[in-house]
Structure 1
Amino acid sequence: MITIDASDVTDERALYLLLMRELGFPGFYGMNWGAFWDSITGLVWIPDHVRFLGWDQLAAHFPRGSTILQWALDNYRAIYRADFVAEFA
Structure 2
Amino acid sequence: MTLDLRGITTKAALHELFKIQLGFPDWYGVGWASWDAFWDCIIAIVELPEQLVLVNWEEFAQACPKDMGILRQVIQDYETERPGKRIVLV
Give TM-score, length-normalised by structure 2.
0.88
Tell me what 1:17 maps to.
Answer: 16
Deviation at 1:69, TM superposition (A): 1.4
Aligned positions of 1:7-46 closer than 5 A: 7-30=6-29, 31-46=33-48
Q: Identify unmatched segments of 5+ residues in structure 1.
A: none
Tell me what 1:71 maps to.
Answer: 73
Q: Aligned partners of 1:24, 1:69: CA distance in 2, in Å? A: 18
Structure 1 residue runs of 4 or more that deviate by more than 2 Å after TM superposition: none
Kept in 1, the 8 Å contact 2:8–2:60? The answer is yes
RMSD: 1.2
Tell me what 1:87 maps to.
Answer: 88
Deviation at 1:49, TM superposition (A): 0.3
Tell me what 1:55 maps to.
Answer: 57
Question: Which amino acid in structure 2 is aligned with residue 84 of structure 1?
Answer: K
Question: Which amino acid in structure 1 is aligned with residue 26 of structure 2?
Answer: G
Q: Aligned partners of 1:70, 1:7: CA distance in 2, in Å? A: 17
Deviation at 1:23, TM superposition (A): 1.1
Task: Give 3-state SS (helix, strand or coil) of 1:19's partner.
Answer: helix
Among all aligned residue pairs of Structure 1 and Structure 2, give the percentage whose two residues are the same amino acid.
Answer: 31
Q: Identify unmatched segments of 5+ residues in structure 2.
A: none
Give TM-score, length-normalised by structure 1.
0.89
